[in-house]
């Protein structure tokens, strides 16, 4: 064996994958039978050493032996988006982990940007000690810079050690990244869905949960604040449930876009007149706040009828929220309740599961007018431009996504 040959000692890769790094040279000859004997003998070691005993470089690409062919497979690097400081993002390269049993390698086609929580993270308006999302395995750590974020990747299965076939279009709750490894159980097959529209999967799921939390709304008036992507989707689903929705937004172009989808919308200044003309000057039973503006919640409390509910979908982050909780709030027995998509509420848990809700969302991807909301797509390498455009409130931008091809 010459100076550029390596011996690979492996564990049973079906049970234990660990990174193998190559500092230099090429693999010219590997005895597959010898590797197989070592897999059977030692299930705990997965290392590579040079003939002279030196450990391999820590920054080289990971490789691992294919469990069927025995051939070494180079994992390569992925390119992911990092939030490095307020209003600053950058693309970084990082090694991919070896593919384990029950996992798939996904090549991302598109990933969606959330105008809510994700923009709070972009602006530095979240507590740096708060966990990113304890319910999603790919979103570890806290909001302390630098961190990866995003939760709306749509792509194609490129390699599989699970039941999903190569070439399957899937959705994954994963930070923005061009290639990544995920547990097959955590991804959602999308069938023939349009990839761009599918980037709104988590927004549709959020809107569905808000609608479920709203309860029985058939024939009831509902005032909704905020006509971003989630607000518009929520209004559409509430209408499907039979509610009489009146939406409120400060931006004329958003109200016009909502009107094109059949949603009645007014400015905050015209809201009292609109309610009076509808015979609702005494208040409405339900107001949904999804604008991200704490002032909207203050206004919402004044619109509620006796024992009315303000359902809050917004996460205000580090913003101060001051509310009038004096005589009217107390005497009219008003309720402020949060709605959140990470869990299924107890009152629905006998009928709804996360799996049922996600199955419903897959169906809604084809039923809702998502093409009208998918207004902007930016190249992945120009992600900074995408966030700056959303942050600036670019006219006409309802939902932005990143394209990887």
Range 206-234 average pLDDT: 97
- Is residue 121's pLDDT more than 90? yes
In whole angstroms, give the CA distance from residue 53 to residue 40. Answer: 23
Token pair in block for residue 141: 């750590």
195 within 8 A of 110, measured Cβ to Cβ: yes
Question: What does the pLDDT read at residue 235?
Answer: 98
pLDDT over threshold 50, residue 311: yes
Average pLDDT for 229-249: 98
pLDDT reading at 37 higher than 70: no
Mean per-residue pLDDT of the chain: 84
pLDDT in tens, 148-168: 999 999 999 999 999 999 999
pLDDT in tens, 279-289: 887 799 999 99
Residue 18 has pLDDT above 80, yes or no: no
Sign of the C-alpha dihedral computed for residues 215, 218, 224 and 229 taken in this order: positive
Check residue 74 and give its pLDDT: 58
All structural domains of the chain, each given as residue ranges with its CATH number in brackets, are: 1-74 (no CATH), 77-199+374-403 (3.90.180.10), 203-347 (3.40.50.720)
Question: Distance between alpha carbon 400 and the CA centroid of its chain, in Å?
Answer: 13
Tens of pLDDT, residue by residue over 177-199, are: 999 999 999 999 999 999 999 99
Determine the pLDDT at residue 282: 76
pLDDT for the residue 216: 95
Instruction: Give me the pLDDT at residue 11, please.
Output: 35
Tell whether the model's pLDDT for residue 233 goes beyond 90. yes
| Winning range, highest mean pLDDT, from 9-13, 37-41, 53-57, 154-158 | 154-158
Helices 201-214 and 229-240 meet at what angle, rounded to 10? 50
What are the contacts of 395-398 at 24+ separation with CB within 8 A? 395/251, 395/253, 396/253, 398/228, 398/229, 398/232, 398/254, 398/257, 398/372, 398/373, 398/374
**Range with lowest mean pLDDT among 122-126, 134-138, 190-194, 398-402:** 134-138
Phi-psi region of 283 (alpha: psi -120 to 50; beta: other; left: phi over 0): left
Confidence tier at 277 by pLDDT (50, 70, 90): confident
pLDDT tens, position by position, 324-346: 888 889 889 999 999 999 899 99
| Residues 396, 400, 404: CA angle, nearest 5 degrees | 140
Q: pTM score > 0.85 for this model?
A: no
Question: Can you give the three-state secondary structure of 111-165, one letter per residue?
Answer: EEECCCHHHHHHHCCCCCCCECCCCCCCCCCECCCCEECCCCEEEEEEEECCCCC
DSSP string, 306-346: EEEEEEE----TT-------SHHHHHTT-EEEE--SSS--G
Inform me whether the pLDDT recorded for 170 exceeds 70. Answer: yes
Selected residue with higher pLDDT from 76 and 299? 299
Residue 211, SS3 per DSSP: helix
Reference 148, options 172, 132, 169; nearest CA is 132
pLDDT at position 75 over 70: no
Joined together, the tokens standing for residue 229 give 């992507």
Q: What is the 3-state secondary structure (H, E, C) of 94-124?
A: EECCCCCCCEEEEEEEEEEECCCHHHHHHHC
Nearest to 50 by CA among 1, 96, 116: 1
Which residues, including other chains, have CB under 8 Å from residue 324's CB and lie 6 or more apart? 298, 301, 302
Closest CA to 52 of 73, 75, 25: 25
Choose between 37 and 153: higher pLDDT. 153
- At 134 the pLDDT is 59
The residue-averaged pLDDT of 219-246 equals: 98
* 4 pLDDT tier (thresholds 50, 70, 90): very low
Note the pLDDT of residue 63. 56
C-alpha distances out from residue 190 to 90, 129, 185, 216, 312, Å: 29, 35, 14, 30, 30
Among 20-24, 100-104, 157-161, 285-289, name the one with the lowest average pLDDT.
Answer: 20-24
**Angle at Cα 111 formed by Cα 167 and Cα 361, nearest 5°?**
75
| Backbone dihedral angles phi then psi of residue 285, each to the nearest 5 degrees | -75, -20
Strand 400-403 to 376-379 pairing: parallel
- The token duo for 239 is 């209408």
């Amino acid at each position: 064996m010459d100076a550029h040959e390596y011996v690979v000692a492996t564990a049973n890769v079906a049970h234990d994958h660990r990174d193998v790094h190559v500092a230099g040279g090429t693999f010219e000859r590997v005895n597959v039978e010898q590797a197989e004997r070592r897999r059977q003998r030692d299930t705990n070691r997965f290392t590579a050493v040079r003939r002279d005993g030196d450990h391999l470089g820590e920054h080289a690409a990971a490789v691992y032996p294919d469990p069927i062919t025995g051939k070494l497979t180079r994992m390569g690097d992925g390119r992911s988006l990092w939030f490095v400081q307020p209003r600053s993002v950058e693309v970084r390269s990082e090694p991919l982990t070896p593919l384990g049993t029950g996992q798939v390698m996904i090549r991302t086609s598109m990933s969606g940007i959330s105008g809510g929580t994700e923009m709070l993270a972009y602006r530095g308006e979240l507590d740096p000690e708060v966990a990113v999302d304890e319910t999603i395995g790919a979103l570890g750590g806290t909001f302390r810079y630098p961190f990866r974020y995003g939760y709306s990747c749509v792509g194609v299965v490129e390699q599989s050690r699970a039941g999903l076939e190569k070439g399957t279009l899937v959705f994954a709750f994963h930070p923005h990244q061009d290639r990544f490894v995920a547990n097959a159980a955590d991804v959602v097959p999308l069938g023939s869905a349009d990839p761009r529209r599918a980037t709104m999967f988590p927004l549709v799921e959020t809107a569905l949960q808000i609608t479920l939390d709203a309860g029985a709304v058939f024939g009831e008036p509902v005032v909704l604040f905020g006509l971003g992507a989630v607000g518009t989707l929520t209004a559409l689903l509430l209408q499907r449930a039979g509610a009489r929705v009146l939406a409120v937004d400060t931006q004329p172009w958003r109200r016009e876009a909502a009107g094109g989808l059949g949603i009645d919308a007014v400015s905050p200044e015209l809201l009292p007149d609109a309610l009076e003309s509808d015979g609702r000057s005494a208040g409405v039973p339900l107001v949904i706040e999804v604008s991200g503006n704490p002032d909207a919640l203050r206004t919402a409390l004044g619109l509620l009828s006796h024992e009315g509910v303000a359902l809050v979908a917004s996460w205000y982050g580090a913003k101060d929220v001051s509310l009038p909780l004096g005589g009217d709030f107390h005497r009219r027995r008003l309720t402020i309740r949060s709605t959140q998509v990470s869990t299924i509420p107890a009152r629905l848990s006998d009928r709804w599961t996360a799996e049922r809700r996600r199955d419903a969302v897959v169906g809604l991807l084809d039923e809702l007018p998502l093409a009208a909301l998918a207004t902007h797509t930016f190249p992945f390498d120009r992600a900074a431009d995408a966030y700056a455009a959303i942050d600036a409130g670019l006219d006409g931008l309802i939902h932005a996504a990143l394209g990887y091809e």
